[in-house]
């Protein structure tokens, strides 16, 4: 490591930038996974790195912060790589019943989204989700939408 001694200041700045980037990545990742413990551990770990370096002058606190960032990154990676619920067990067809005319229409449901707008095939009435439902399948369909079936939707 003696060969890198001339670049120590640059490497030190780059390491701090990477810690900041890791925390920013976890903040942005929170928008998708919504797991507060991961965000809290990432922020506390990032703060620990800088407090250990500048406020307490403790390598152990800095190393603990780096270890926390590594652990929360592994947890985030694990959640992304683990198998998702199988859509084969889900019902992907639903019969939508129009509340205006009573027409019934069988429709295929998207597996990764909710359907907010639907026009009745018979009377052309626009259907919107009822208050508290995430989509027209949950409001007017015979089967709830796949995100609700998989328990990843807000109205599960």
| 128-149 pLDDT tens trace | 999 988 899 999 999 988 888 7
Spatial separation of the C-alpha atoms in residues 20 and 26, rounded to whole Å: 10
More confident site: 32 or 17: 17
Comparing CA positions, the residue from 77, 142, 135, 74 lying closest to residue 104 is 142
Average pLDDT score, the chain: 86
Q: What phi and psi, each to the nearest 5 degrees, are found at residue 100?
A: -80, -50
- CA 55 vs. chain centroid, Å, equals 34
Name the pTM for this structure.
0.51
pLDDT on residue 152: 64
**CA dist., res. 47 & res. 43, Å (int):** 6
Confidence at 153, pLDDT banded by 50, 70, 90: low
Name which of 16-30, 81-95, 109-123, 128-142 the model is least confident about. Answer: 81-95
Distance from chain centroid for Cα 143 = 25
């Amino acid at each position: 490591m003696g060969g890198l001694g001339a670049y120590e200041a640059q490497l030190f700045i780059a390491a701090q930038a990477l810690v900041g980037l890791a925390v920013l990545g976890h903040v942005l990742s929170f928008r998708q996974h919504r797991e507060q413990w991961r965000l809290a551990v990432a922020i506390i770990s990032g703060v620990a790195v800088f407090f250990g370096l500048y406020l307490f002058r403790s390598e152990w606190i800095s190393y603990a912060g780096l270890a926390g960032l590594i652990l929360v990154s592994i947890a985030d990676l694990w959640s992304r790589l683990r198998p998702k619920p199988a859509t084969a067990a889900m019902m992907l067809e639903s019969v939508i019943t129009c509340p205006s005319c009573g027409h019934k229409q069988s429709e295929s449901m998207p597996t990764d989204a909710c359907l907010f707008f639907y026009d009745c095939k018979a009377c052309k009435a626009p259907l919107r989700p009822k208050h508290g439902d995430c989509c027209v399948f949950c409001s007017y369909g015979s089967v709830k939408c796949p995100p609700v079936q998989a328990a990843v939707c807000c109205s599960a």
